[in-house]
Every structure is written in C-alpha cells, then in structure tokens.
Structure 1
Amino acid sequence: MSPTPFTRGRATDMAPVPVRTRSVRVSLAIVVGVWIIRRLVGVMITIARTPLLLAATVVIIGLAVLWSRFGLLPSSLASLLIIGALVGWWLRSPATFTRTVGDRARSLGRWLWTYRRYWQPAMVTANLAQHRDGSEQLPELLGVASTRSVDRVRVRLLPGQTLDDWAEMAHRLAQTFAIDSCRVHSTTDVQVIEIWALRRDPLTDTVAPVETAGMDLGGLEVGRAEDGEPFRLGLLGHHVLVVGATGSGKGSVIWSTLTQLAPGLVDDSVRLWVIDPKGGMELAPGQALFDRFAHGASTIDADGVGLWEESFAELLEDAVAVMRDRQDRLRGRTRLHRPTPGDPLLVIIIDELASLTAYVSDRGVRKRIDAALSLLLSQGRAAGVSMVAAVQDPRKDTIPVRDLFPTRICLRVTEPEHVTLTLGAGMRAKGAHAERIRHDLPGVGFVQVDGLPEPTRVRFAHITDDDISHLVTKITNRASAAGGQRLQAIESAAA
C-alpha cells in the first residue's frame, strides 16, 4: 500500500507539483481604457447618489447647452437668475437654505477632501483594516452628513468587527482626521456604525432657555446636543437621575425641565411636588409653581425629637397613595397613564436625594422614605408619577435605588468611577469622560437612556434668577387669562 498524505503513523514525501500558467499580454491602451471607464462609472454613481451634485451637474449641462445654442448673453443671464434665487432663498430662510444646500455642500466637500482622501491610511494606522490572501480590505465609507460642528460618517463594518473595536480607536481617528474628538454611535443596521467627528464644540457657548407654546412630555427641549441640534428629554414614563459635583449645573437640569413644563402647569396637566432638603434654599424661587413644597420643618415633637425629615416622608407617601389610586382606575384600560387637565402627570423633584436615603437621622422616618421611594421608582412611571432627583455621590451605599432610574445624567464629577456608577459599565470607553469636563462649563454632561447603547453629550439651558421670576409671572398671567381655576392654587402656594 503506497503511502498517502492521510496515512497515520507514516512519513510521507510529497514534493510540490510545479504548475505553469500561461501569461496573458494586455496592451497599455486597454489597461488605461479600463481604468478610465471604471473611474467614469464611479463618478456617475457618485453623482447619481448625491442630490446636490446631481442638481449642480444638471444646471451646468443646461447652461452649457444654452450657451452653445443661443450664445453667451442668455447663459449669463440664466446664471445670474440662479445665483439671485439662491441668494434670495438664503436671505428669506437661512435655516432651510443651510439645511438643504449649505450642509449638503459641506458634506460633499468633507467626504471628498478629508475622509475619502485619508480613509486608507486612517484604517491601517488604527488597525481597522484586514489583510486576507495578500489583499487589503477596508471598512466601506458609506457617506458623510456634515453640519457646522460635526461630521456624521457612516461606515460598514468588516466581518468580525464590533462597535467596541472602533470606540477603542476613536482617539486615533480624531488625530488622523484633525478633529477635536470622535465618538462612535450605533445605527439600526448592526453592520453599520456612525462616527461623530466633532470639528467645533457647540457646547462651549451658554444655552439660553427655550420659550415654548406647547409641551411634549416625550421630548422636552431642555438643551443642546453636541451635534448642535436641540436635545429633548423624555419625562413621560421616565425617572431621571442627575449626578454632578458642586457647581456642575444640576440646577440647570431641574430648572430647564420646569421651564418646559410651563404649559402643563397652566392647564393643570402637570403638577409639581418638590422636596428641597436644604431648607428651601435652592428651589424656593419657584415655590409659586409647586402644588406641594417640602423643605424641612424645624419643629420638635413631645419627646423632644426633631421632625425635619417628617415632611419628606409624608410627601412621598402621599405620592404612593396617588399612584395606588391610579393603578386601581387604570387597571385593564391602559398600560401608561396619559396626562390630561384634571388628571395630571405628577412630577416629584428632589434636589439632594442623598439627604433622604443616607443622611436621615431618624430610623423610622428613613424606613418610610426608603419604602416610598422604592415603590414610586419601581411602579410610578406607568401610573403617571415621574421623579427627577439630583445627587452628588452616586455610590450604591448612598443611593441604593440608583438602578431604578431609566434616564441618568452625569455632569462634571470628581472621580472616573462616578461615570461608570452613573451611566453604566463601558460608557467611559465610548467617550463619556465626565471627570474631564471643565469647571467653566456648568450644565455640560452625558445622558444615558436605558435601551440606547451609547450616551449623548449635552449642555442644558442656563436659567438665571430673572428667568425664574419671568417664568412665575408668565404662568400666573396665563393661568389668570385661562379662567383663574389654576390661579387660585398657584396663589395659595405662593402665600
């Protein structure tokens, strides 16, 4: 039996078989011609896929035809008319012109001049390219959508790559493309990611509060995102935890939310129950807007025990009673309470949550507060009871109910581990470095919503004391004009 490559326990001597292939000679003209044809086809596909480039091509061809048939004067007049129409559009509606023409032109320029030009070296140096059988494979650059501050670069991943692989190389991509910072976002397609390349930080400027005529509890416009677009915070069906060091801007989050709730305060579709453990020092300027305001009571019972935290427990227990009543009414009818005038969304605002969970001196009161908080956070969302709570220390022994907040906001903090405790594991690797936020940028932070794979960098609106006074006056006047039904409650709260 002759040995074969698959014979066990025997040495084999298989010499390689020489194979000679016949070479095919191709003339240089054919090679150049094929190269030109491929380039032309690529240009045509690019033009067809780019609306602005397609429109510009049609206009240029039209002007060329007009020039060839009727001469220079008619084509010049047509060119002036087109330029005048564009200038008039820009003067009349700069926002739509920027969105339709300016941003598209910027996207095309960034795609051609920056990303397509440096794509291959960027992928190689960032170890995001793959080599197989002697050939180099690069992630596919699908497109670029640019604004004044950020480029959104869509990329199709190579087989075996994940979003985390790109997130680890974000700092290298930022250096290669000469941008300030780079963050990686997921899309609805698991094989496609979106790189947010930040060229100019729009969050260095203070964000003014937004005047609103209507109210969308699914998305309150409370600030600006890092792409320059308005940021909307969902409150209906959500609890919000705000974590930040002293001076980080926790008040900006609370007051910008209250500002957006103004229409609901007028028509009684929103009611505010507020707890300010600092004796009312922080939130007292808006007391006229609150249906209930617990700020501690410096009273002593018959045994000489202070009752400072008693009012906090009573407010939370009353909120549990409201939640129980709604659960009885809504059972079998709906899974989510819809606020209406007379059946409002109850928003509980707590300025310093640790004062209720870790610093309460009376054990009995602390047990009551813990029980009420756990019930409200675990069951209150569906019944139309939402909570917005602020705290400085996010550790579990300080905030045992931390994980019951679906929306978490991390402003400037003092330690890197606070970011992980607030937003979750892996968020710092995705760019959420809240410990690096400058002290002169209050209100800047990262927002993480359950179900979303990465955080959003945001700056919340800055609300001054004058803005608060104006807000109280505006709501009072609107309530008076609406018939006075809500005005009586506001005036009694103010008294």
Structure 2
Amino acid sequence: MRVTSHNTGLGGMRGRQTPQLVTVQPRPTLGTVVVVNAARLVGRLLRWLCHHPLVTGPMLAVVVLLRLLGTTGVAHVLLAGTVGLAAGLVVWRDRWPASFRRVLASRWRALVVYRRLWQPAMVTCGLATTVGEREYLPEIRRVVSETCRDRLLVELLSGQAPEDFEARTSQLAHTFEATECRVVADRPGRIWLEFTHADPLVEVVPALAPAEPPDLTALPVGTREDGTPWTLRLLGTHLLIAGATGSGKGSVLWSLIRALGPALRDRSVQVWAVDPKGGMELTPGAGLFAWFAYAGPAAMVELLEDAVAFMRHRSERLRQAGLRLHQPTPEDPLVVVLVDELASLTAYVGDRELKKRADAALQLLLSQGRAAGVLVVAALQDPGKDVLPYRDLFPTRVALRLLEDTQIDMVLGRSARARGAACDRIPPSLPGVGYVVIEGIREPVRVRAAHIDDNDLARMVDEFAPPAVATDQPPLQLVKGDA
C-alpha cells in the first residue's frame, strides 16, 4: 500500500489533515485475462449468430439431426436437402427473377464481389482518406443486382462529390470486372455506382404501337437501358439528332413519325419534310407528309421560307386572340419541319445566297416557332460549330454513335462525356443506340430507338396517311396564300 497526504488551507489557516489510505488494485493474472477475452469473443459470436439467422438455422439443424439420426442419417438428409435447395433456387430464379435478384443475388454479389474488394479499390483509386492512423472509406449502403448491371448505393466521405468518382469510373470498372461504370447522383452525400456486366440494349427493339390519341409530350420511340419506354417530347420544343453514318438516325426519325401516326391521320399534325439526299431516305414515307421537298437546294430553302411565313401568320393570329401557345387541332395543326441532313443546307450548299437564306429561315424557326406550333426536327452527322453554329437553339438533343469524344459535349452539353455518355464507344453493330438528357436527371440516359423496316413503313403509310385534301392546289400554294 501507498500512503499519501496533503495539506489544505481554508481562510488563510493551515490545519493538519488525517492521512488517507489509497488501495492499489492487484494486477490481473494471465488466467483472468484469458477468461475475460474468451468470454468477450463468445459474446460477440453469439451476437453475430443472432443477427445472421441464415447461418445459425442450418447449424442448429445439423446439430439436432446428428443427435437424432447419427452420422449416416445426417449425410442422407444433407444430400436430399442440397438437391431440394438447388431445385428450389432454380424454380425461384425462373418464376420470380426480380425477387431472386433482390433477395439472394444482390446479397451474394455484395459479399463476394464488392465488399471483398472495396477497401483496396478505394485506396488505389485515391478515394480513401487517412487521418492520423485511421483510414476512412466511402461506405456501401446497399447493393441491387439487376439482369445486366449491379447498382451500389455509396455514402460519400465529407468533402467528396460525385465528380471524384466520375474521374475514376474506368479504374472502378476494371477492378470489379465490369464493362462500364457510371455515377448517378442520388441525393446530397450519396451516389449510385452502376456497374454494367452485359449490354441490355443489344437486342433490336421492334416497331412500337402508337398511342391513340398520341401524347405530344411523351411520344414512345424506343426503350431505355433500365427497360422502361423511351419517350420524346415534341410539343413546345425542337429536336436535334446527331450521329455518324450508320448510327441509326433514321430509326429515331421514323419511330417519331410512327408515334405521330394517329395525329397525322386526323390532320392535327402535319410533317413538312426536307430530304437533301435526293429523296432516298424519306421517299418510302412520302404519303405521310403534307409537303415533301427533295429536288435541289432551292426547293428545300423555299419550304423553309414558307414555314417562316406560315409561322409569322399564325403568331399574329394567336396574338390577336390573346393566346401565348398554340394548341394543335385538325383545323389548326401542329407543323413539324423535318430535315434529314441539316448540314447539307447549312454548310455544304455551293450557292452562298441559298446558304444564307437557309440559315436565316432556320434561325427564325428555331427562335420563334415553338410557341406558334412550328417545330423543327433535324438530323446531322457533324455537330461542330462550323457546321451548325446555332445548335444551342435545339432544347432537345439525341446523341447516337459519334466519332470523337469532343462531339459528345457539343450535342448533350458540358461534362456529358464525363457523366457517362460514351457515344464514341458505341459499336457500329448497334444502330439506334445513343444517349439523351432527361429533364430532372443529371446524368445522360442510354437508349435505343425502335427499328422500322420497309414493311413497317408500308403499313404506316397505309394506316396513317392523311386523307386527300379536296383541292387541286399543292400544300405549298395553300400555305403561301394563307400567309
């Protein structure tokens, strides 16, 4: 024992204090340390078993069977149980694939693939942080396994942003043996990492049945990567489709026209088509158009200028009626100016005067036509500023396969390539596959347009061609006279 004493003063007076005895605790023996730690380990094991009934249940069942049936009986039971379990899993996977992936496949891949490699992946990619001697990692909150991809809900560290992971998508994809990794913001502080293992858009999308009447704010033209329908808004917007040769621009155009079919038939929508390829692309559907110009740049520019005149006439009429937005009706239809290869009018026309007239007409339509119900749907191969200097006047844009990564941001906006719009990596064997920016979604969405073959086009013309107008004048003369 150790004796300690001290004096205290009170009111300037000193007094002698009674010595206090301090008891020194004896050091624990080795046996005590072993017993205490063993008890702690057993407690932790019991808590773990209580929290994991899928492990505890089979273990208890084996112990009970050993007591009741012996070693031979347990072997027979285990064999029968294994066969039954395998058969049950096969039936579960085939009959209820969604719940199978959600309950079993997700947990299995979370344990075997992602949590096992998570710490070294975060460290080597520079996404982990060390403070003092302690290492901090972004935390996996949830794993969702789908048919062709796995989605990881990740909680970010303080100071991290989705852009930190977007700069490491290539390394993460290779680490977890995925063909692609994309970052999707969930809410502040959380992101989804989407690891694609197989392409869900490799199958051709058949021609889609149009709705009657069609919803001009959501026209079905294909399917999205997650299996939901891909719809395009047409009312109140202009649409630009950019893609290299053979990328499937025709699939998007014809799918859009097919979705408009019932409206074309009842004349609440009209298509004025321009085909600079001499009519080769759009001629099969000529019966669907109110006006079709293909015989030379002069006729095409004349169509655009008459569309401007029609737009101005309708705008004045709406102004006098006190209306700010045109509503399509059979008596006053929505006009869609469809241009197959826009660069043929804006960059490749040899006649400088015709080029200036085409540019002037297009800029007027793009800047003033939405409210008046005169919309432009255009396709082109090269989205560069020297080819289409006013591409920003198209609010809605679709990017199919492109030859250069710099073209992606030209079409979809800044940082679209970094956020997953890998248009330059789309193989030529997948025409109609591309990326679009959906309102309210930060990341570009991967889509595929439906394939429209010649038989589908023939049926579309038979089913949706508008009835003949009771006049001997062509639509162009009617438009000029009305304007």
Band of TM-score, shorter chain = 0.7 to 0.9
The alignment status of 1:312 with 2:301, answered yes or no, reads: no
Structure 1 residues 27 and 287 mapped into 2: Cα distance closer, same or farther (>3 Å)? same
1:481 aligned residue: none
Q: Give unpaired runs (5+ residues) of structure 1.
A: 1-22, 48-56, 65-75, 299-305, 477-485
Query: Which piece of structure 1 moves more, 422-431 or 360-369?
Result: 360-369
SS of residue in 1 equivalent to 2:344? helix
2:45 aligned residue: 36
The alignment status of 1:178 with 2:170, answered yes or no, reads: no
2:347 aligned residue: 358
1:454 aligned residue: 443
Structure 1 residues 155 and 327 mapped into 2: Cα distance closer, same or farther (>3 Å)? farther
Query: Which piece of structure 1 moves more, 26-35 or 344-353?
Result: 26-35
Residue from 36, 43, 55 that aligns with 1:27:
36
Tell me the distance in 1 between the aligned counterparts of 2:188 and 2:322: 38
Alpha-carbon shift at residue 292 of structure 1 (Å): 2.0
CA contact (8 A) 1:413 1:434 kept: yes
Residue from 436, 457, 461 that aligns with 2:425:
436
Aligned AA (1:32) = L
Tell me the distance in 2 between the aligned counterparts of 1:320 and 1:150: 50
2:204 aligned residue: 206
Map Cα deviations across residues 192-216 of structure 1 (whole Å, 9 max, x no partner): 2112211110222222121234433
The alignment status of 1:488 with 2:464, answered yes or no, reads: no
Tell me the distance in 1 between the aligned counterparts of 2:367 and 2:383: 18
2:379 aligned residue: 390
Tell me the distance in 1 between the aligned counterparts of 2:327 and 2:303: 28
Structure 1 residues 314 and 284 mapped into 2: Cα distance closer, same or farther (>3 Å)? same
The alignment status of 1:381 with 2:361, answered yes or no, reads: no
TM-score by length of 1: 0.74
Question: Where in structure 2 are the equivalents of 1:46-61 lying within 5 Å?
Answer: none
The alignment status of 1:426 with 2:415, answered yes or no, reads: yes
Tell me the distance in 2 between the aligned counterparts of 1:490 and 1:448: 43
CA contact (8 A) 2:251 2:452 kept: yes
TM-score by length of 2: 0.75
**Aligned sequence identity (%):** 44
Tell me the distance in 2 between the aligned counterparts of 1:105 and 1:322: 60
Tell me the distance in 2 between the aligned counterparts of 1:389 and 1:269: 21
Residue from 386, 398, 408 that aligns with 1:409:
398
1:235 aligned residue: 234
CA contact (8 A) 1:320 1:375 kept: no
The alignment status of 1:156 with 2:148, answered yes or no, reads: no
The alignment status of 1:276 with 2:275, answered yes or no, reads: yes
Alpha-carbon shift at residue 181 of structure 1 (Å): 1.0
Residue from 445, 456, 463 that aligns with 1:467:
456
Question: Where in structure 2 are the equivalents of 1:286-305 lying within 5 Å?
Answer: 286-296=285-295
Alpha-carbon shift at residue 490 of structure 1 (Å): 11
Aligned AA (1:197) = F
Residue from 166, 191, 194 that aligns with 1:193:
191
Structure 1 residues 324 and 193 mapped into 2: Cα distance closer, same or farther (>3 Å)? farther
Alpha-carbon shift at residue 324 of structure 1 (Å): 4.7
SS of residue in 1 equivalent to 2:105? helix
Alpha-carbon shift at residue 350 of structure 1 (Å): 0.9
Tell me the distance in 2 between the aligned counterparts of 1:152 and 1:330: 51
Tell me the distance in 2 between the aligned counterparts of 1:490 and 1:425: 50
Structure 1 residues 28 and 412 mapped into 2: Cα distance closer, same or farther (>3 Å)? same
Tell me the distance in 1 between the aligned counterparts of 2:235 and 2:39: 66
Alpha-carbon shift at residue 100 of structure 1 (Å): 4.7
Alpha-carbon shift at residue 441 of structure 1 (Å): 1.9
Tell me the distance in 1 between the aligned counterparts of 2:247 and 2:148: 24
1:400 aligned residue: 389
Aligned AA (2:412) = L
Aligned AA (1:208) = P
CA contact (8 A) 1:222 1:233 kept: yes
Alpha-carbon shift at residue 30 of structure 1 (Å): 4.4
SS of residue in 1 equivalent to 2:201? helix
SS of residue in 2 equivalent to 1:216? coil
Query: Which piece of structure 1 moves more, 369-378 or 455-464?
Result: 369-378
Aligned AA (1:446) = Y
SS of residue in 1 equivalent to 2:467? helix
CA contact (8 A) 1:406 1:449 kept: no
| CA RMSD between the two structures | 3.8
Alpha-carbon shift at residue 418 of structure 1 (Å): 1.7
Structure 1 residues 323 and 203 mapped into 2: Cα distance closer, same or farther (>3 Å)? farther
CA contact (8 A) 1:291 1:490 kept: no
Tell me the distance in 2 between the aligned counterparts of 1:408 and 1:296: 28
1:256 aligned residue: 255
Tell me the distance in 2 between the aligned counterparts of 1:27 and 1:158: 36
Query: Which piece of structure 1 moves more, 459-468 or 265-274?
Result: 265-274
Alpha-carbon shift at residue 133 of structure 1 (Å): 3.0
Query: Which piece of structure 1 moves more, 348-357 or 161-170?
Result: 348-357
SS of residue in 2 equivalent to 1:286? helix
2:128 aligned residue: 129
CA contact (8 A) 1:144 1:154 kept: yes
Alpha-carbon shift at residue 452 of structure 1 (Å): 4.1
Map Cα deviations across residues 309-351 of structure 1 (whole Å, 9 max, x no partner): 333322343244335544554636xxx5554444443322111
Residue from 355, 370, 382 that aligns with 2:359:
370
SS of residue in 1 equivalent to 2:195? strand
Question: Where in structure 2 are the equivalents of 1:64-83 lying within 5 Å?
Answer: none
Alpha-carbon shift at residue 166 of structure 1 (Å): 0.5
Structure 1 residues 151 and 316 mapped into 2: Cα distance closer, same or farther (>3 Å)? farther
Map Cα deviations across residues 435-467 of structure 1 (whole Å, 9 max, x no partner): 232222222222235664322222222211111
